[in-house]
Amino acid sequence: MTTLTFNFRSEQEEKVLLAFLDSLQYDYRRARDPEDFRFSEQEAEGLLQTKRDFLEGRTTARPWEEIECNLRRA
């Protein structure tokens, strides 16, 4: 799955794009509410643990390419 983000300059631009997507019968989801982007408690704790591990020297920074490769395998 790929996520696309659009920053519309006008309401008309949004209507045109949504009409186009609908005409092609694309399955999409509009996310307007900040709640759509919140981390779960488990995700937030995982991020905080990763930060603690990094600050305490238990892990190192990795290039994005390596992280991306690992994500594809998951």
pLDDT of 32 higher than 90 = no
Q: How confident is the model at residue 10 (pLDDT cuts 50, 70, 90)?
A: very high
Mean pLDDT over residues 56-61, rounded? 87
Domain map (residue ranges) of the chain: 11-73
Please check whether residue 13 is in contact with residue 7, taking contact to mean a CB–CB distance below 8 angstroms.
Answer: no
